[in-house]
Every structure is written in structure tokens, then in C-alpha cells.
Amino acid sequence: MNPYYWSNYNQLGRAYLQSGDNEEAIAAFRKVTQLEPDNSAAYTNIGVVYLREGKWSECIQAFQKSLELKPSGSVYNNLGVVHSYEGNYPEAIKMFEKAVAVNPNEQSWVGNLADAYRYSGQTDKATAIYDRAISLAHKALQVNPRDARALGSLGLYYAKKGDAKLALDFVRRARSIDDNSNDLIYKQAVIDLLAGRRAEALQALREAFRKGYSPVEAKNDPDLKALHDNPEFDKLLKEFSRRVN
């Protein structure tokens, strides 16, 4: 009805991205850039698709284009994720610090900064920053006790601090509110793995992939390194990578 309204294509791209159809998502977001060349969000979304596909060069290029058009904490955060997946933790820390400087109250960005310090072996700094992220997530729950995103994040932070009991409790509460989110299911997988529940982690990964979570992103996630020698994990990646392709 209105083929020249860029927002429709942007929403369509987001729907494809959520369902794991990366090729169609890219096509929709590129249509946005044709209709609205100065739209920074379109380039951000293109970068997110390439991030999920593990195409670092194309991903970084899209995020940098987005930043040229409009500086954004979320784009700095996304660049930090890319550098973490590349194993370039000093650069990841720089990007996450820029994101947190833009919005110190975004708990997920604070949590990502803690991750980068943990991955780089700076455990004390990571622990202190996880505590900041936990405090921010609890504040979100004071506003909305049924905030599934905050509950899932709390589970992840406690797992990364080594408190498996609290971690599992929070992620179960999150999933009792929203059992369909592939992101929450993926968090469940990471938490299970960090808690030493490898079979449960693999089961959750299968469910997350089935609901559209990127197997390439999982393969590059430093938190899943303990599964890299696991034949079942390799089998899962191959099975769902074929489905995406």
C-alpha cells in the first residue's frame, strides 16, 4: 500500500531478523538505506545481521557508517560485542566503556563491559562491574517485577560470578514470564553451561536455534568455549547452520 515508507521495511527486516532469516532481513534493511540514505538505524540493523553471521569486516563497516550518521551507545555496544567475539578484548573494553559513558544506567551494556574484563583475565574489575549491572537490573525489577529481560540478565550475571543457584532461579523466573524469547532461552543455555549442566545447556541451545537464534553467534561466543570440543555442539551448529543457509 505504501512501498516508499521506509519504516515498513525496517519493521519487516526486524521480523525477519527475529525469525533467523538473515538474507531477507538484509534485503529489507538495504531497502531502508535506499529510501532513507541518512537513516543510521538501517546501518545498525545491517551490522547486527552481519554480526549474527560472523562477518566481522562487513559488520564493523556497517556500524561505523551508522556512527558517522549518528553517534549511538547501542552501536558502540555492538562494536564491543564484535571485538569480544574476535578475541580483541582491549578494543572491546574501549567500545563498551564508550557505550556506558553514553548511558551508565543500561544494565546490559554494563554487563558486557564486565564480560570483556572477565574474558581478558581481569577478574576483580569484572566482579565489581557485574555488581553494578546487578544493581541496575534490580532497580528495573522495582519498577516492573515481571521484567523478563532484567530477570534473565540477573541470572546471567550471577552465573558469571559463580552463583549457580541464584542464576538458575532468576532465569527460570524469566522464562515463566516469557517462554518464547530465543534470547532468554540462549541465556538459559549459557547459565546451564556455567553451572556445569552441559546436557541441559545443549538442550536449551537446540531450542534457541529452533526459535531463530544464530548458531554462528553461539559458535563465536566466548562463554561457550567449553563446548567447542563437544561433538553434540558441533552437530547442532551444522544442523541449524544448514537450515539458515
Q: What is the pLDDT of residue 203?
A: 98
pLDDT score of 242 more than 80: no
With respect to residue 194, please indicate whether it lies within any of the assigned structural domains. yes
With respect to residue 102, please indicate whether it lies within any of the assigned structural domains. no
* Per-chain mean pLDDT for the chain: 95
pTM metric for this prediction: 0.89
Query: Among 45, 70, 95, which residue terminates a domain?
Result: 70
Distance CA 88, CA 91 (A): 6
The answer on 150 and 245 residing in a single domain is yes
With respect to residue 85, please indicate whether it lies within any of the assigned structural domains. no
Distances (CA, A) of 6 to 69, 75, 90, 168: 17, 20, 37, 41
Amino acid, res. 153? S
Q: How confident is the model at residue 243 (pLDDT cuts 50, 70, 90)?
A: low
3 state DSSP class of 192: helix
Query: Among 52, 70, 88, which residue terminates a domain?
Result: 70
The answer on 151 and 239 residing in a single domain is yes
State how many domains the chain has. Answer: 2
The answer on 240 and 151 residing in a single domain is yes
What would you report as the CA-atom Rg of the chain, rounded to the nearest whole angstrom? Answer: 18
Query: Among 53, 70, 87, which residue terminates a domain?
Result: 70
The answer on 150 and 64 residing in a single domain is no
With respect to residue 124, please indicate whether it lies within any of the assigned structural domains. no
**Over residues 54-67, mean pLDDT:** 95
Q: Which domain holds residue 172?
A: 144-245
Amino acid, res. 168? L
Q: How confident is the model at residue 244 (pLDDT cuts 50, 70, 90)?
A: very low
CATH of the domain at 211: 1.25.40.10
Amino acid, res. 182? N
With respect to residue 103, please indicate whether it lies within any of the assigned structural domains. no
With respect to residue 94, please indicate whether it lies within any of the assigned structural domains. no
Give 176: exposed, middle or buried? Use CB within 10 Å, 0-12, 13-18, 19+.
exposed
Q: What is the pLDDT of residue 208?
A: 96
The answer on 148 and 59 residing in a single domain is no
Half-sphere CA count of 136, side-chain side, radius 13 A: 19
> 72-97 pLDDT, tens per residue?
999 999 999 999 999 999 999 999 99
**Over residues 234-241, mean pLDDT:** 93
Q: Assign residue 2 a region: left if phi > 0, alpha if psi is -120 to 50, beta otherwise? A: beta
**Over residues 143-172, mean pLDDT:** 97
With respect to residue 123, please indicate whether it lies within any of the assigned structural domains. no
